[in-house]
């Protein structure tokens, strides 16, 4: 018997040696990993180490009889191999040689081999004639504790809201008739209003709590019920109500805000026009003040100047209309005016024409429509006049004299909607990931033997690689947008321009990520993911529009980049902009790091997992892109190219900068957050998620880093391997991680997830 031949220290290495020799693919890197483990194992004697090292000699592999002896030793043990353990093979090895006096702690050297070789149960359980306990997940972490970390100080409010969503009115089912679907969603919105959730962000005197953070959390949790409900809720209480709250004054608040929060006044937000999608400053609708009648006339001058894609258009009785305000023959720029569009019998007001946008790719429970105004008159008091007013004598007045600054200040007050859209998109990715992961932890497919149970989808490295980095990103973006919303809601921060820049870039990056993730999840579920009953198809259709509403992503990334370039100044005339570029160019040329050449080739785990390396990589990319972009624009302007044309010539560069800046911001925000986690066990988990996010993003932009000489080919390959390794390490905890999203069980109704 082999037990009588070798010492305990040697015996516990035999399963590992059998695994790596049985596939005839023992590589130099495998030898190095195992050699290092043996050398550092203090429990082994010098003689034991000599025996084990001899078995690693590639020129003298174990004989077939030795391999059979090893397998016989493993199989005769009657020890169960438990897949769900954090280090299943290490644990199995130690159970083989366990005695009543054995230490309970796992052998660190064996763990080193299991981690660094990326060995998983599906790689070896078919090699051993032992009972394999196919538990799909580890219980080392508690999903409720993870969810509590994400919820933070608002856990009571969020838990109460999630419980509210268990009401039968929110039961999800397949909808084919958009009229019935819209009525269902409207009733859901009214139900939430009755519970006080619509007015959550409004001041206490108007039925709210003044808590924008909780409102945003409500918004993101609504995705778990239905995307149409989320958007309808956001339009009614966030866009329409938010415009009254943020752009109006006390007279508007007193008259409209309470009724809006109760949903007894239904409103819509009429900004976008058919002919001017993203260019709000250039909209054509006019609002002309008539001094004699003391009224404002709203008018659509041309066929394609109508308001387009207006949510709540068919149910609303009032609209916040954005138009060019003309006072005494002078265009004072874009302002918002409250315009009644239906009477008490829900009939259209004179001069108002509304058409249904019809069926869409998704969100068919939202009543989007087109609106035309034909000389519609409203009282002067309907002008939302916080930033620009028409005085009693008929003259225009604003505390903000610069019309450009006034325009951006008005739009800046509504950036909360942009933040909510990003948070909703994250929830869409979370929901899809939860469904795809739970499916992959049940669905089995393929094996090399008809006698053995097929492998779980989640045990395939390729499946892990397509889903696990997205889980890490969802955690990073959740924490980031919570932080941005907190800053936005902080009344002590009077200058919101930096937050606007951050929100613009992050909204673009996150909504793009969400759509890519949902598509990946759809494919990861195969044909089941294509069925509407399994929810991913609806999420795909509903979240798709998030990339273009509340700001088209391409435009928003440029906006973020311009904010960085101009130090968040909003004017870009040639003379003023040149001075900004000179200062910026000087600062950046001084600050760009001449990175140490060792960075280019350093591949050890300690370096690649170090957050300081990730910070440096992201910071270098942002600074480098900023500097080269500034220099390119300055070169064009020196040649006499107008500033606007210069920006067109560097548009792709702007997009790269906007994305780089946003990813750096998200990573930095998440790393700072992990330092606030008091429980060491969960802090390490979150740090590992941050590491996976960072390395995955660096890997995604490896082309740029290679072009810049920041990393070499060897380091690029090492980063790819580490991404795969981290996915393997997180595999035992994968279900706990998606449960940690906190999706209410009554909302996770997809058959393949249950």
Q: How far is CA 222 from CA 56, 212, 584, in A?
A: 57, 15, 43
What is the spatial distance between Cα 334 and Cα 283, in angstroms, rounded to a whole number? 8
Q: Give the sign of the dihedral formed by CA 200, CA 206, CA 209, CA 210.
A: positive
Nearest to 414 by CA among 212, 571, 572, 267: 212
Residue-wise burial string across 313-328, b where 16 or more C-beta atoms lie within 10 A, e elsewhere: bbbbbbbbbbbbbbbe
What is the spatial distance between Cα 643 and Cα 636, in angstroms, rounded to a whole number? 8
What is the spatial distance between Cα 473 and Cα 503, in angstroms, rounded to a whole number? 17
Relative to beta strand 286-290, strand 295-299 is antiparallel
**30 noted as active-site residue:** no
30, 85, 308, 550: which is the annotated catalytic residue?
550
Using DSSP's 3-state secondary structure scheme, residue 5 falls into: coil
Nearest to 459 by CA among 440, 439, 435, 434: 440
Element of type H or E holding 318: strand 318-327
Distance of CA 583 to the CA centre of its chain: 34
Q: Give the sign of the dihedral formed by CA 210, CA 216, CA 219, CA 221.
A: negative
Using DSSP's 3-state secondary structure scheme, residue 329 falls into: coil
| Spatial CB neighbours of 356, under 8 Å, sequence gap ≥ 6 | 314, 367, 368, 369
For 419, the token pair is 């933040």
| 3-state SS track over 191-236 | HHHHCCCCCCCCCHHHCCCCCHHHHHHHHHHHCCCCHHHHHHHHHH
Q: Is the separation of the CB atoms in 83 and 121 below 8 Å?
A: yes
Q: Give the sign of the dihedral formed by CA 26, CA 29, CA 32, CA 38.
A: negative
What is the spatial distance between Cα 444 and Cα 466, in angstroms, rounded to a whole number? 17
- Burial (Cβ within 10 Å: 0-12, 13-18, ≥19) of residue 392: exposed
What is the spatial distance between Cα 287 and Cα 53, in angstroms, rounded to a whole number? 85
Residue-wise burial string across 478-487, b where 16 or more C-beta atoms lie within 10 A, e elsewhere: bbbbbbbbee
Q: Is the separation of the CB atoms in 340 and 373 below 8 Å?
A: no
Nearest to 265 by CA among 314, 317, 310: 317
For 505, the token pair is 């870039």
Q: What are phi and psi of 286, to 5 degrees?
A: -110, 150
The residues that are catalytic are 550
């Amino acid at each position: 018997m082999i037990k009588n031949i070798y010492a305990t220290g040697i015996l516990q290495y035999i399963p590992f040696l059998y695994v790596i020799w049985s596939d005839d693919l023992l590589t130099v890197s495998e030898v190095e990993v195992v050699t290092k483990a043996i050398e550092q194992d203090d429990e082994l004697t010098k003689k034991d180490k000599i025996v084990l090292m001899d078995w690693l000699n590639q020129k003298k592999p174990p004989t077939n009889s030795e391999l059979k002896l090893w397998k016989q030793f493993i199989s005769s043990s009657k020890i169960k191999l438990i897949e769900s353990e954090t280090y299943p093979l290490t644990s199995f090895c130690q159970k083989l040689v366990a005695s009543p006096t054995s230490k309970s702690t796992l052998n660190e050297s064996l763990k080193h081999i299991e981690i660094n070789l990326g060995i998983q149960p599906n790689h070896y359980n078919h090699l051993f004639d032992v009972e394999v306990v196919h538990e799909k997940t580890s219980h080392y972490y508690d999903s409720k504790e993870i969810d509590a970390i994400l919820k933070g100080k608002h856990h009571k409010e969020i838990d109460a809201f999630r419980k509210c969503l268990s009401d039968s009115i929110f039961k999800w089912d397949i909808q084919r008739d958009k009229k019935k679907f819209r009525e269902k969603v409207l009733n859901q919105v009214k139900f939430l209003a009755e519970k006080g959730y619509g007015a959550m962000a409004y001041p206490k005197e108007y039925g709210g709590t003044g808590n924008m953070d909780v409102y945003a959390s409500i918004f993101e949790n609504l995705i778990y019920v239905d995307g149409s409900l989320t958007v309808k809720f956001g339009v009614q209480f966030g866009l329409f109500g938010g415009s009254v709250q943020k752009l109006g004054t006390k007279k508007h608040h007193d008259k409209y805000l309470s009724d809006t929060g109760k949903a007894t006044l239904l409103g819509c937000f009429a900004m976008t026009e058919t002919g001017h999608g993203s260019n709000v400053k250039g909209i054509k609708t006019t609002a002309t003040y008539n001094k004699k009648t003391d009224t404002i006339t709203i008018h659509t001058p041309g066929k394609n100047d109508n308001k387009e894609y207006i949510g709540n258009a068919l149910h609303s009785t009032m609209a916040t209309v954005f138009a060019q305000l003309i006072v005494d023959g002078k265009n004072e720029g874009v302002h918002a005016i409250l315009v009644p569009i239906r009477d008490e019998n829900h009939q259209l007001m004179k001069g108002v024409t509304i058409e249904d946008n019809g069926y869409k790719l998704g969100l068919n429970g939202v009543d989007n429509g087109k609106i035309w105004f034909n000389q519609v008159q409203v009282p002067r008091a309907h002008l939302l006049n916080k930033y620009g007013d028409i005085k009693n004598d008929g003259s225009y007045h604003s505390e903000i004299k610069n019309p450009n600054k006034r325009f951006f200040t008005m739009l800046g007050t509504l950036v909360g909607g942009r933040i909510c859209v990003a948070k909703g998109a994250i929830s869409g990715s979370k929901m899809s990931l939860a469904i795809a992961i739970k499916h992959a932890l049940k669905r089995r497919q393929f094996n090399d033997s008809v006698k053995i149970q097929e492998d779980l989808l989640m045990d395939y490295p390729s499946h892990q690689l397509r889903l696990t980095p997205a889980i890490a990103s969802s955690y990073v973006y959740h924490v980031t947008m919570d932080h941005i919303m907190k800053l936005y809601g902080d009344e002590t921060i009077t200058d919101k321009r930096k937050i606007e820049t951050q929100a613009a870039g992050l909204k673009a990056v996150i909504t793009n990520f969400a759509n890519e993730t949902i598509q990946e999840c759809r494919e990861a579920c195969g044909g089941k993911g294509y069925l509407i009953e399994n929810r991913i198809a609806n999420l795909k259709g509903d979240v798709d529009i998030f990339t273009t509403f509340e700001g088209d992503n391409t435009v928003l990334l440029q906006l973020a980049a311009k904010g960085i370039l101009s130090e968040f100044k909003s004017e870009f005339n040639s003379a003023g902009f040149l001075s900004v570029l000179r200062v910026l160019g000087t600062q950046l040329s001084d600050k760009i790091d001449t990175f140490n050449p060792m960075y280019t080739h350093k591949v050890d785990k300690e370096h690649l997992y170090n957050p300081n390396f990730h910070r440096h990589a992201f910071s270098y990319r942002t600074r480098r892109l900023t500097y080269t972009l500034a220099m390119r624009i300055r070169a064009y302007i020196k040649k006499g190219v107008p500033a606007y044309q210069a920006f067109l010539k560097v548009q792709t560069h702007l997009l790269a900068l906007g994305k780089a800046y946003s990813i750096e911001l998200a990573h930095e925000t998440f790393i700072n957050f992990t330092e606030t986690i008091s429980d060491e066990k969960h802090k390490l988990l979150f740090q590992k998620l941050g590491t996976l996010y960072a390395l995955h993003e660096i890997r995604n932009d490896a082309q740029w880093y290679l072009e810049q000489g920041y990393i070499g080919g060897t380091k690029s390959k090492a980063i790819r391997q580490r991404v795969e390794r981290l996915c393997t390490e997180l595999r035992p905890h994968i279900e706990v991680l998606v449960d940690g999203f906190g999706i209410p069980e009554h909302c996770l109704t997809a058959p393949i997830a249950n």
